[in-house]
Amino acid sequence: MTVSIPEPPRAPREADRPPRRALVAGSVGNFIEWYEFGIYGCFATVIAANFFTPEGGGDLEGLVKTYASFALAFFFRPIGAAVFGRLGDRIGRRPTLICVVLLMTAATTLIGLLPTYDTVGAAAPWLLTLLRVLQGLSAGGEFGGAVSIMTEFAPAGRRGLYGAWQSFTVALGLLGGAGVAALLATVLSEQALNDWGWRLPFLLTLPMGLGALWLRLRLEETPAFRGAEDRTGGGAAPEPPPRAGEVARAIVLGAGRIMGWAAAGYTFLVVMPSYLQSTLGASFREALIATVVANLGFAASIIPAGLLSDRIGRRPVMLSGAALVAVAAIPLLDLLQDTDRSNLVKGVAVFAAGAAVGLMAGPGPAMLAEMFPTRVRYTGLGLAYSLSNAVFSGCAGLIITETIKRTGEVDIPGYYTTVTCAVSLVALLTLRGDDHRGPLREGHMARTPRPDEPQEAGR
């Protein structure tokens, strides 16, 4: 099918540039998405006061409503993954990702311009929620396209590394959001931050989005998609598409494999600021510093984990990350609550927690890409990721905050991440040890080994 956005001409010496260009174009859009989610998490208490807490409402009540809006946007991500994924598998990865970054940039910039509850009353939270829905739709289309172009352009034996850049830019986006929030909290008074300072990080998305658009306009279509188009347009009979039931089972299995990554990532890297403030009594600045340290640990382990998974396989690396989080989550929270422990010890602990999540996030994108053939890859891996994030990331803040409110149990985040990572461990045991070796699938689904079948070890 012909698309209306022409590809840029290639100069003779550009043969080696497409993989690098794909990394940059995919990473920049992904950075913007997660930068926005990071600042929303960091400013959750400020947003609650401005949009969700009318006079007389409690702080915790406003925070719950803020996270409800946060969760609602996540539940639109699977819809975005299905809509944009279908487009990406039919008309191409490139034009679809151009549409996605335009939608994300517009919605995020408009959040920075919204009137607050004091100005327009009850319309304020509804307007914010509408923009969050648009962000959810675009975010649902971002992951599948970004991972598709990164892994489909990746040289042989380097899909784990290339896919890890998707997760690495998640870390950079969250760090960027937390860093901007920390900077504003330092240079602005609390009153200025609450009145207008919180708008600045959202408005910064506009120039970043324009830069991402320029990069994606220069991007070429992936060789895997062009090859599938050539085979469809040739004289040979096209291979029948995978059965819908096979694709659906793979989506559910993929969501289960990354459940722990989704839940632990958002609990430790996004929800932590408001948890530390509302539950443990930390200051806004202390909570942001702890979040930055956790995100530094996350960022530090992602690329090495992706590289390692190219050598020994996705399975052992991701299993290690899920097991570490499951075992250490509750002791970590006990440590943070211990007033006798030094800030240095607590800093090392949250850094290590972020690094454990990175062991799942590094190989995760390549693992999902290897589960689906070219004709359904954008849709399949996007839905697996979006469904898992909708349930276990988007609801993390709401579940944790509401449960603490009702029970008074401050270890709820630890229980939440322990259970989800335990389920992921079971799902990851079905992962084949040799999927990282061969080329990406063109027309057949990944085969899930039987429980009694021995796993082939990675090299």
pLDDT at residue 11, as a whole number: 47
Average pLDDT over residues 222-239: 70
Q: Give 45's DSSP letter.
A: H
Average pLDDT over residues 185-209: 90
Residue 305 and residue 358: Cα distance in Å, rounded? Answer: 7
Residue 120 has a CB neighbour count (10 Å cut-off) of 13
Q: What would you measure as the largest C-alpha separation in the chain, in angstroms?
A: 74
Show the tokens assigned to 117. 């509850």
Q: Is the pLDDT of residue 459 over 80?
A: no
pLDDT at residue 386, as a whole number: 92
Q: Give 376's DSSP letter.
A: G
Residue 372 and residue 194: Cα distance in Å, rounded? Answer: 46
- The per-residue pLDDT for range 387-436, each reduced to its tens digit, is 998 888 777 777 787 888 888 888 888 899 999 999 999 999 999 877 78
Q: Grade residue 259 by pLDDT with cuts at 50, 70 and 90.
A: very high
Q: Do residues 352 and 391 touch, judged by C-beta distance below 8 A?
A: no
Q: Given the structure tokens 């909570």, which residue do they identify?
A: 287
Show the tokens assigned to 11. 């100069």
The arrangement of secondary structure in 19-229+243-428, i.e. its CATH architecture, is Up-down Bundle (1.20)
- The per-residue pLDDT for range 64-78, each reduced to its tens digit, is 666 666 667 778 889
Average pLDDT over residues 253-281: 83
User: Per-domain residue ranges for the chain?
Assistant: 19-229+243-428
Which residues, including other chains, have CB under 8 Å from residue 282's CB and lie 6 or more apart?
Answer: 276, 290
Q: Do residues 203 and 105 touch, judged by C-beta distance below 8 A?
A: no
Q: Do residues 25 and 212 touch, judged by C-beta distance below 8 A?
A: yes
Number of H helices, E strands in the chain: 22, 0
- The per-residue pLDDT for range 80-91, each reduced to its tens digit, is 999 999 999 999
- The per-residue pLDDT for range 288-340, each reduced to its tens digit, is 788 788 889 999 999 999 999 999 999 999 999 999 999 999 998 888 878 78
Q: Do residues 450 and 293 touch, judged by C-beta distance below 8 A?
A: no
Q: Is the pLDDT of residue 10 over 60?
A: no
- The per-residue pLDDT for range 335-360, each reduced to its tens digit, is 887 878 887 888 888 899 999 999 99
Q: Do residues 50 and 194 touch, judged by C-beta distance below 8 A?
A: yes
Q: Do residues 70 and 40 touch, judged by C-beta distance below 8 A?
A: yes
Q: Do residues 144 and 379 touch, judged by C-beta distance below 8 A?
A: yes
Residue 117 and residue 123: Cα distance in Å, rounded? Answer: 7
Smallest CA-to-CA distance from 170 within 308, 29, 277 is with 29
Show the tokens assigned to 444. 């057949």
62 or 95: which leads in pLDDT: 95
Say which range, 56-65, 208-217, 245-254, 374-383, has the weakest mean pLDDT: 56-65
pLDDT at residue 345, as a whole number: 86
Q: Given the structure tokens 């006990």, which residue do they identify?
A: 334
Q: Grade residue 17 by pLDDT with cuts at 50, 70 and 90.
A: low
For the chain, the average pLDDT equals 83
Say which range, 13-22, 24-33, 437-446, has the weakest mean pLDDT: 13-22
Residue 351 and residue 341: Cα distance in Å, rounded? Answer: 15
Say which range, 175-184, 281-290, 310-319, has the weakest mean pLDDT: 281-290
- What is the residue type of 253? L
pLDDT at residue 1, as a whole number: 47
Residue 75 and residue 389: Cα distance in Å, rounded? Answer: 8
The tally of CA atoms less than 13 A away on the side-chain side of residue 176 is 20
